[in-house]
Amino acid sequence: MFGPRIAGEGGVELRPPTLEDYRQNPRWMLLPEVTRFWGPRTISETDADAEERMRKEGARDTSIVWTIAYAGESAGFTGVFDIDWVRRDGETGIFIGRHDLYGRGIASEAVRLRMAYVWKELGLRRTHNWIALPNRGSWRANQKAGYAQVGTYPRSFFRSGEWVDEWLGEAFPHTYPADRLPDAWRR
């Protein structure tokens, strides 16, 4: 499924992805600045494949996907994936393809909006994630919205000649900073 539009602060909003977004994201995923903390660096996807992926993800009832927009333009995506509706648990992820925009608080705002929706609308009990330990920007953005590190996965993947550990995190409704709840849920 695609998530609804959620207006945030600082020019950030979450909105349902467009076909153009689906075509753009894999192109960003080929950039070294963007994939620095990932294992794989190769993607083969035609525009037709992107369209098919959009159709499948839009129909999937175990994930919620948003485009992250900044100043009205697509900058990446975030979502909750592999939702187990019985355990009410899911994996969260975030990707900003516009590396010229890093460090402006976009991920922090996107995660704040996403997690408000997860707790207030989806009714999940827990979410979890895993993030390359050196990827401070990612785990810190999640931490500010209630994630805490619960463990480390040593030598999780091999990248640029070295093994990289991963930060394992989890979040719960009660760990969300109540005073940072977006306007949409305050009214």
Does residue number 107 form part of the binding site for ligand COA (CB under 6 A)? yes
Q: How long, in residues, is the chain? A: 187
Q: Rounded to an integer, what distance in angstroms lies between the CA atom of residue 66 and that of residue 46?
A: 21
Does residue number 60 form part of the binding site for ligand COA (CB under 6 A)? no
Residue 4 Cβ vs ligand COA, minimum distance, rounded to whole Å: 21
Which residue lies nearer to ligand COA by CB, 28 or 117?
28
Does residue number 115 form part of the binding site for ligand COA (CB under 6 A)? no
Pick from 14, 83, 113, 131: which binds ligand COA (CB under 6 A)?
131
Q: Are 125 and 89 in contact (CB under 8 A)?
A: yes
What are the backbone angles phi and psi of residue 57, rounded to the nearest 5°? -70, -35
Q: Are 125 and 87 in contact (CB under 8 A)?
A: yes
Q: Are 66 and 114 in contact (CB under 8 A)?
A: yes
Does residue number 34 form part of the binding site for ligand COA (CB under 6 A)? yes
Which positions lie near ligand COA, rule CB under 6 A? Answer: 34, 37, 76, 94-96, 102-108, 131, 135-138, 140-141
